[in-house]
Amino acid sequence: AQTVTQSQPEMSVQEAETVTLSCTYDTSESDYYLFWYKQPPSRQMILVIRQEAYKQQNATENRFSVNFQKAAKSFSLKISDSQLGDAAMYFCAYRSWYNNNDMRFGAGTRLTVKP
């Protein structure tokens, strides 16, 4: 079974600085999708960025980018120019290419942004 590990329960960053959130996963599959979701205090889960495992190029979405290391099974999220609105829980998630139905989440990292 696939597992997703986020080893940082909490992270803190100064406004305008850069922070990297870690995520590792375990799978025997060669094709899959990886996601980062943001859960602000308003509770809604918001998709931040996604990566297809077959793509070597790291996904980028404005101030958010990932460092996808397939061999190491690592999928970290970098937030550049951090803003107060980035404060939230961030969840890393894995979804099989072969089974769209099941998505596995990490435990989450709570990000605090200091003014």
Partner 1 sequence: EPEVTQTPSHQVTQMGQEVILRCVPISNHLYFYWYRQILGQKVEFLVSFYNNEISEKSEIFDDQFSVERPDGSNFTLKIRSTKLEDSAMYFCASSTGGENQPQHFGDGTRLSIL
Tokens of 97: 């290419």
**97 DSSP assignment:** S
Q: Specify which residues 29 forms β-bridges with.
A: none
Nearer to partner 1, 35 or 82 (CB): 35
- Does 57 participate in binding partner 1 (rule CB under 8 A)? no
Q: Rounded distance, CA 115 to CA 82, Å? A: 10
- Does 17 participate in binding partner 1 (rule CB under 8 A)? no
CA terminus-to-terminus distance, the chain: 41
| 88, 109 Cβ separation under 8 angstroms | no
Nearer to partner 1, 106 or 113 (CB): 106
The minimum distance between CB 30 and partner 1, in angstroms, equals 15
- Does 42 participate in binding partner 1 (rule CB under 8 A)? yes
Query: Which residues, other chains included, contact 70 with Cβ-Cβ below 8 Å and sequence gap of 6+?
Result: 53
Nearer to partner 1, 39 or 67 (CB): 39
Among 8, 33, 64, 80, which residue sits at the site for partner 1 (rule: CB under 8 A)?
33
Task: Kindly list the residues in this chain that would bind partner 1 in the complex (CB under 8 A).
Answer: 33, 35, 37, 42-47, 50, 52, 91, 93, 97, 99-108
